[in-house]
Structure 1
Amino acid sequence: MSTRRQRDAPLLLSRPLTSALLRLYDYPDPRRPDRIIKGYDGPHAVRTARMCAAVAERLGHPVERVRQYQIACVLHDLGRAGLDRALFSRIWSWARAQSIPTRPREWRARYPETKYGRETEAFLSRYRGSLEAAGVLVDDWACEQVEMRLGYARRLTRRLRNVKPRLQDLGVAWEPWMGRIMLYYYYPEKLEGAKPWVRQLAEILVACEQFEAYSNRRRGRDYYVRSRESLMEAFDYLASLQREGVVSVAVLDALRSLAAGGAFDRVLEQAQG
């Protein structure tokens, strides 16, 4: 371990811009027209974006690219705007208990007959009755919670379309590669043919988001149905992603080095609450 503490993972965006980006997660409640569902766990998005910038800088990406990248990292969960913590957790804890795949590529591996991009519909067709028998009302709102996992690409596309005018007002020049890296964890195939630097930024986002999530007490309780946080488990999971070819050795080594040098100490302390 380094004896000299490295600088904290940086936030390259202004505070006003960061706050404005986080407000894009706010979502009108379709059940109550007078209510806005506040974006879920904005601090997770910011902590992830900080770590991503640190790793990207360590790997030599130019500063202006890293700044643009950090905008995408702050918005990486935009496809889950409107997440209903109680309902989402209930659906997906039930699915895990039944050993049902919860990611699109895992779903297609189990059920290869599913048409690409129709994983949500396949899930509902197969399990609607069982979910309702377990006490979950499978209405349009419940279907949205399913879409937040199994139909993430479709939902993210809709949300980006809705917020792009507001991004323009903020002076953000959105580029196609920014959306592609946001999809990489669930849809690695969407990075086929991408430039190496785009692929590497996507890998960094996956690695840092998962590293933060494994340290995030609130997210562990609400999203992963987890009772404790463990850095050892985080690194074990990242190692499994490296073996699968999702994250490269270079990215994982950079993350490990920065973590060992203390660059992530503050963000991890905040994540652990």
Structure 2
Amino acid sequence: MRSISQRAPLLVPHTLVTQLMALYDYPHPSQRGRIIRGYDRPHAVRTARMCASVATALGHGAERVRQYQIACLLHDLGRAGLDRQLFGKIWSWAKERGIPTRPREWRALHQDTRYGRETEAFLRYYRKDLEAAGIAMTPWAKEQVEMRLGYSRRLARRLRTVRPAIKKMGVTWAPWMQQVMLYYYYPEKLASAKPWVRQLAEILVACEQFEAYSNQRRGRDYYVRKKETLVDAFAYLETLQQDGILSGAVMGALRRLTAQGEFDAILEEARGCAFTRGERRALRAMES
């Protein structure tokens, strides 16, 4: 049995990880010289570690998995500059009113919305209500909306900005890496992707959501959640499987590795406390 330190490892040098995490830093829009430090970098690192383990378990080769882990480290790049207070206000307000917060859910409810213009539609519908609630829809506030409803567009802008820096790091950036980063919000963009790309995209969604549902800080700031439970995490993943977002192969590999204890240390770090005996028993039985 592998030691805890060997489980779900980083496959890229720590110096490169540090350089990649710095790409999440964002210049403050109104305070010259001030940098908004990338939000919840540890989430990106934990997710990337989990993704590489699942991809390896499903038979992807070492070099592909290494490149994939780099994409996973940057999977939240489209949210660089996230303003915790303002972002939280906008999306708490939306959640309380049952307003969709993801592009595909928005389009399902508002079918007249032009594809790729979900941010504009949200502002058209709710600008006055938000401002009446004391949330001024400044350009910076619109950016916080774009981080969810316009994620593809914002990610593309950020990648264009940082690609020269990525190249200097010696990283070869392939188009499929951006594809897998978009799958959760835009599964339709991978409709014609190669099966292995689609599978890597599914793995990222499964691991990112599993970590996020165990992440105390992210639950409070991003999901407006008060408690993290393993039951809720897998219940949500099962709904994604039912919706055709996740395959049985990916879910099976995630369950198997979870049952083997591959992610225990990662999940405990995310939630900020150790598992109870009952939770640990539940994890060990995850595959059965």
TM-score exceeds 0.5: yes
Give the Cα–Cα distance (whole angstroms) in 1 for the partners of residues 93 and 101 of structure 2. Answer: 11
Give the Cα–Cα distance (whole angstroms) in 2 for the partners of residues 32 and 125 of structure 1. Answer: 28
Give the Cα–Cα distance (whole angstroms) in 1 for the partners of residues 91 and 12 of structure 2. Answer: 34
How far apart are residue 173 of structure 1 and its match? 0.4
Gaps in structure 2 of 5+ consecutive residues: 273-288
Query: How is 1:1-273 mapped onto 2 (pairs within 5 angstroms)?
Result: 7-273=6-272
How far apart are residue 5 of structure 1 and its match? 7.6
Q: TM-score, normalised by structure 1?
A: 0.98
How far apart are residue 269 of structure 1 and its match? 1.0
What amino acid maps onto 1:250 in structure 2?
A: A
Deviations 1:5-25 (CA, angstroms, capped at 9, x unpaired): 885111101000000000000
What amino acid maps onto 1:57 in structure 2?
A: T
Provide the aligned length of Structure 1 versus Structure 2. Answer: 271
What amino acid maps onto 1:56 in structure 2?
A: A
What amino acid maps onto 2:155 in structure 1?
A: L
Deviations 1:152-202 (CA, angstroms, capped at 9, x unpaired): 000000000000000000000000000000000000000011000000000
Give the Cα–Cα distance (whole angstroms) in 1 for the partners of residues 192 and 153 of structure 2. Answer: 21
How far apart are residue 34 of structure 1 and its match? 1.6
Give the Cα–Cα distance (whole angstroms) in 2 for the partners of residues 272 and 93 of structure 1. Answer: 21
Give the Cα–Cα distance (whole angstroms) in 1 for the partners of residues 264 and 62 of structure 2. Answer: 23
Quick check: 1:203–1:246 contact (8 Å CA) kept in 2?
yes
How far apart are residue 146 of structure 1 and its match? 0.1
How far apart are residue 31 of structure 1 and its match? 1.2
Give the Cα–Cα distance (whole angstroms) in 2 for the partners of residues 129 and 239 of structure 1. Answer: 37
Question: In the superposition, relative to structure 1, how do residues 48 and 4 fare at CA in structure 2: closer, same or farther (>3 Å)?
Answer: closer
RCO higher in structure (CA 8 A, sep ≥6): 1
Give the Cα–Cα distance (whole angstroms) in 2 for the partners of residues 265 and 105 of structure 1. Answer: 32
Would you identify which runs of 4 or more consecutive aligned residues in structure 1 move more than 2 Å?
3-7
Give the Cα–Cα distance (whole angstroms) in 2 for the partners of residues 192 and 5 of structure 1. Answer: 39
Quick check: 1:148–1:155 contact (8 Å CA) kept in 2?
yes
SS in 2 for 1:117: coil
Give the Cα–Cα distance (whole angstroms) in 2 for the partners of residues 33 and 184 of structure 1. Answer: 35
Quick check: 1:5–1:262 contact (8 Å CA) kept in 2?
no
Quick check: 1:21–1:74 contact (8 Å CA) kept in 2?
yes
SS in 1 for 2:177: helix
Quick check: 1:44–1:271 contact (8 Å CA) kept in 2?
yes
Question: In the superposition, relative to structure 1, how do residues 5 and 237 fare at CA in structure 2: closer, same or farther (>3 Å)?
Answer: farther
Alignment RMSD (CA, Å)? 1.1
Give the Cα–Cα distance (whole angstroms) in 1 for the partners of residues 45 and 126 of structure 2. Answer: 35
SS in 2 for 1:66: helix
Give the Cα–Cα distance (whole angstroms) in 2 for the partners of residues 101 and 253 of structure 1. Answer: 29
Give the Cα–Cα distance (whole angstroms) in 2 for the partners of residues 12 and 181 of structure 1. Answer: 18
Quick check: 1:118–1:151 contact (8 Å CA) kept in 2?
yes
Give the Cα–Cα distance (whole angstroms) in 1 for the partners of residues 252 and 233 of structure 2. Answer: 14
Question: In the superposition, relative to structure 1, how do residues 65 and 4 fare at CA in structure 2: closer, same or farther (>3 Å)?
Answer: closer
Q: TM-score, normalised by structure 2?
A: 0.93
Give the Cα–Cα distance (whole angstroms) in 1 for the partners of residues 109 and 241 of structure 2. Answer: 22
SS in 2 for 1:210: helix
Give the Cα–Cα distance (whole angstroms) in 1 for the partners of residues 144 and 225 of structure 2. Answer: 19
Give the Cα–Cα distance (whole angstroms) in 2 for the partners of residues 258 and 99 of structure 1. Answer: 35
Quick check: 1:5–1:261 contact (8 Å CA) kept in 2?
no
Give the Cα–Cα distance (whole angstroms) in 1 for the partners of residues 34 and 152 of structure 2. Answer: 26
Question: In the superposition, relative to structure 1, how do residues 14 and 5 fare at CA in structure 2: closer, same or farther (>3 Å)?
Answer: closer
What amino acid maps onto 1:50 in structure 2?
A: R
Give the Cα–Cα distance (whole angstroms) in 2 for the partners of residues 94 and 204 of structure 1. Answer: 31
SS in 2 for 1:215: coil
Task: Calculate percent identity across the aligned residue pairs.
Answer: 67
Gaps in structure 1 of 5+ consecutive residues: none
